[in-house]
Amino acid sequence: GQEEAKSGRVRASAVQCAGAGVARPKVIGVVDSLPHHPTLPPHQNRTSPITKIVIHHTDTPKDFTVEQIARYHVFGTSPYKDPWPAIGYHYVIAPDGTIYQTERHETRSYHVGAANNYCLGVSLIGRFLIKDYDGSIQPKEDQLPTPAQMTSAAHLVAWLMNAVNVPDIKNVVGHK
């Protein structure tokens, strides 16, 4: 669907970046400054090597901050969401293209269920849907990541493929 099309665009851009040789993108580390649940045990370290990179969207308005997303992951509750030890993604990309590292690579965070042990999560801030949950059509500019997000995501994914040894672009997928 639409999620697979987005991850396909990121994969295609990442292949172009990888072919040109990839330097580490500018990344702002916020791992230690984001909220962690006060009573849940922390995320465990993974016991398997990373073999997939999973692209997400935060399913939030584009003006949400990394801090707000982390707070929802840690404290947000609903019939579908239990509290988590910390943010679920390893990287979050803001609409202006800023890349934040939100978890360490060795952390088995919560973002893809049973596959968390071998997947690294990259999420773009936004709710990239044609129709919002109330059935209304979202403005065109909210249906897709910004060009800056796409550029940063492609650069990050191309670098990560080398950094964590994910050699096959087929192992860069969209969530669901």
Q: pLDDT for 36-60, tens place per residue?
A: 999 999 999 999 999 999 999 999 9
Q: What pLDDT, on a 0 to 100 scale, did the predictor assign at position 81?
A: 83
Q: Average model confidence (pLDDT) for the chain?
A: 90
Q: Given this model, what pLDDT does residue 12 score?
A: 60
- The residue type found at 83 is P
Q: Rounded to whole angstroms, what are the CA distances from 74 to 62, 110, 116?
A: 20, 11, 17
Using the structure block, give the residue that is written with the tokens 């952390």. Answer: 107
